[in-house]
Chains A and B, each alone.
Chain A
Amino acid sequence: MTKLLNPAGLLVLLAGAIAFPFVINDPTYTTIAIFALLFAAAASGWNIFSGYTGYIALGHAAYFGVGGYALAIMCQRWHIQGGYTPFYLVPVCGLIAAAFAVPLGAVALRTRRHTFVVITVASFFILQLLSYNLRGLTNGSSGIDFPLILQWGPDFYNLPFYYAALILTLVALATSWFIRNSKFGLGLLAIRDDEDRAQGLGVKTGASKLIAFVISAFFVGMAGAVLNYFIGNVQPTFTFDSLFDVAVELMVFMGGIGSLSGPILGALVIESADQYTALQFSFGPGLHLLVYGSLFLVVILFLPQGIVPSIKGQWARYQASRSNDQPLPSANGTGPGSPAMGVTASREEAKA
């Protein structure tokens, strides 16, 4: 089967992504792009655990929040100036989020299915509650402001954030690809299909699930750090956003859960649309929730598998029909060999 995206196509996409802020140097659009890319990184990270193992985690907002708070607290305590330095601390924030995910994941992963979902939601609310109440560390409900970045002019301000978000997305995507093609990732996909059977074939299911959970928290935590730095402050209500998981899940489901590019595509489409409509038409508060809800229903109704798997299915069918229409290839023909050979074989079988 011919691949939909070949390496050349991917390079063009990458070049386009790198050139984007120079082509469209309008802060309105680069802001939308920053949000979309950060959600793409988070969705891709979420997919490494939930997409591959089939365990739907609904509490990753906890790690998004931990990442944001970690960066804010480090900047505050260590009197870090606004500028590039906080970006270097983003991986540290990811590690801190991952460290939180170890015990929380270990507890939640003792359960399966619905119970697992409920426990992940609970772990989110526990951390949100802590951010309200550990005032010495988090400054309670008033939150913490990031240092101002005075040296960056309005034309330049978005660029570092854009490239940080782009790098994060690419690293998340590369990690996801790497895992999908490894024995470890194959074990995760086997867990999704039949966990007990996978264990009976030597897959270390407990450790695999926890490692995938922690990796996904790592990426979500880093996305949280960059996004909150961009916004300029952390607050319990917004940094620990109870709608974060609904949004990420919608993106992943729409793009195609368990696929490589699906979460990225879903996040770019939904987050851009969300930000754009919020900017263009000032809906009343909460109206975008209606949009989320109806989009979710539309996706479940018409694209239960998501965009990417649906398109791939159509593409495979198109390829198959095209190779069936073609006359049998001559000896030196360059047409797709194997499907045509399949046709001859089946004809011979029919004769026999």
Chain B
Amino acid sequence: MNLLEVKGASKAFGGIQALSDCSVSLEKGKINGLIGPNGSGKTTLFNVVTGYEKVDAGEIIFNGKPITNASPDQVFALGIGRTFQLTRIFPRLTVIENMHVAAQRSGLSGLLARWSQSHEQKRAIELLDYVGITRLKDTPAGNLSYGQKKLLEFAFILIADPQVILLDEPAGGVNPTMINLLASRIRGLNELGITFLVVEHNMEFVMTLCDRVTVMHRGTKIAEGPPAEVRRNPAVLEAYLGD
């Protein structure tokens, strides 16, 4: 069953066609990879799915319901979390405050509750433990190292219990030990039922981690299938090596 489906999405920025009639589907419970050369539209696809950009044409369906052009907070509330290629955390808030931002609640009493005494506090600490940065919880997040910021961004998405997590280059600029930690965390969460879509240039990471890989080129899908199959696909080789 497909949890998330993008049907014929198109998006142009001025004269640049970032997405052209792009259809991608995400199988529930799988770790899906998304690869493609620079400028092939991967990040734009993330942006239209998560509400940061509006599509010019096409449809986005999540759990059988259309979410085309919903706002980012609505998309997040439905259960789609994402990270950014250039990590986006809240630098002047402490690590633990960063965790609570993502644990927003609706309703007046929820909004007026003191965050430090909310029931999410325990969960926030658990998640920081999970990625190994609990000892930094009272540090302003801006003081963290690049890799620690990536771990924090990953952890605060989890606090909202998303069904799908979109990761934009999680292994970019991160040392091998941390890449292994990240991969094991992704696998662990996947076993708990979270579906992933991972954009990554590190081929080894993608090929060993993902169950299925989608390849994009010039704003559209050119191949899809298990990693080993995609690797041998002539269209993929051509896209990467030039035509």
Contacts and interface: CB of A to CB of B under 8 A. Distances in A.
B112 interface: yes
A189 B105 contact: no
Interface in A186-203: 186-187, 189-190, 192-194, 196-203
A98 to B, nearest CB: 17
A189 B73 contact: no
A201 B156 contact: yes
Contact of B90 (A184, A190, A199, A202): A190
B205 interface: no
Main secondary structure of the interface of A (DSSP, over half): helix
A43 B51 CA distance: 36
Interface stretch (B36-44, B93-101, B232-240): B93-101
Nearest to B100: A186
Contacts of B73: 199-205
Interface stretch (B26-34, B114-122, B212-220): B114-122
B178 interface: no
A181 interface: yes
A181 B114 contact: yes
A259 to B, nearest CB: 12
Kindly name the residue among A186, A194, A201 whose own CB sees the greatest number of chain B CB atoms within 10 A.
A201
A309 B193 CA distance: 44
A74 to B, nearest CB: 30
A205 B52 CA distance: 14
A201 B76 contact: yes
A194 B112 contact: no
A214 B237 CA distance: 58
A200 B101 contact: no
Given A190-B101, A202-B77, A204-B73, A183 B93 contact: no
B88 A183 contact: no
A197 B76 CA distance: 11
A183 B99 CA distance: 11
A193 B92 contact: yes
B104 interface: yes
Contacts of B112: 178, 182-184
Contact of A198 (B101, B116, B160): B101
A118 to B, nearest CB: 25
B50 interface: yes
B101 A182 contact: no
A301 B95 CA distance: 29
Kindly name the residue among B82, B88, B103 whose own CB sees the greatest number of chain A CB atoms within 10 A.
B88
A202 B92 contact: no
A203 B72 CA distance: 9
Kindly name the residue among B52, B111, B118 whose own CB sees the greatest number of chain A CB atoms within 10 A.
B111
A1 B55 CA distance: 50
B102 interface: yes
A213 to B, nearest CB: 16
A196 B52 contact: yes
Contact of A193 (B77, B93, B110): B93
Given A192-B92, A197-B90, A187 B104 contact: yes
B23 interface: no
Interface string A160-199: 0000000000000000001001111011011011101111
Contacts of B1: none
B1 to A, nearest CB: 26
Contacts of A200: 50-52, 72-73, 75-76, 82
Nearest to A342: B135
B85 interface: no
B71 interface: yes
B66 interface: no
B90 A183 contact: no
A199 B113 contact: no
A194 B88 contact: yes
B91 interface: yes
Contact of A182 (B93, B102, B111): B111
Contacts of A193: 90-93
A88 B117 CA distance: 36
Nearest to A258: B92
A196 B72 contact: yes
B80 to A, nearest CB: 10
Given A197-B90, A201-B156, A182 B113 contact: yes
Contacts of B111: 182-184, 187
Contacts of B115: 181-183, 186
A202 B93 contact: no
Nearest to A189: B93
A201 B92 contact: no
A186 B93 CA distance: 9
Contacts of A203: 73, 101, 104
A228 B156 CA distance: 48
Kindly name the residue among A184, A186, A189, A196 whose own CB sees the greatest number of chain B CB atoms within 10 A.
A186
10 contacts: A178-B112, A181-B114, A182-B111, A190-B90, A192-B92, A193-B90, A193-B91, A194-B90, A202-B73, A205-B73
Given A197-B84, A201-B73, 12 more contacts: A182-B111, A182-B113, A183-B103, A183-B111, A183-B113, A183-B115, A186-B115, A199-B73, A200-B73, A200-B82, A202-B76, A202-B77
- Which 4 interchain pairs have the tightest Cβ spacing? A193-B90, A202-B104, A200-B72, A201-B102
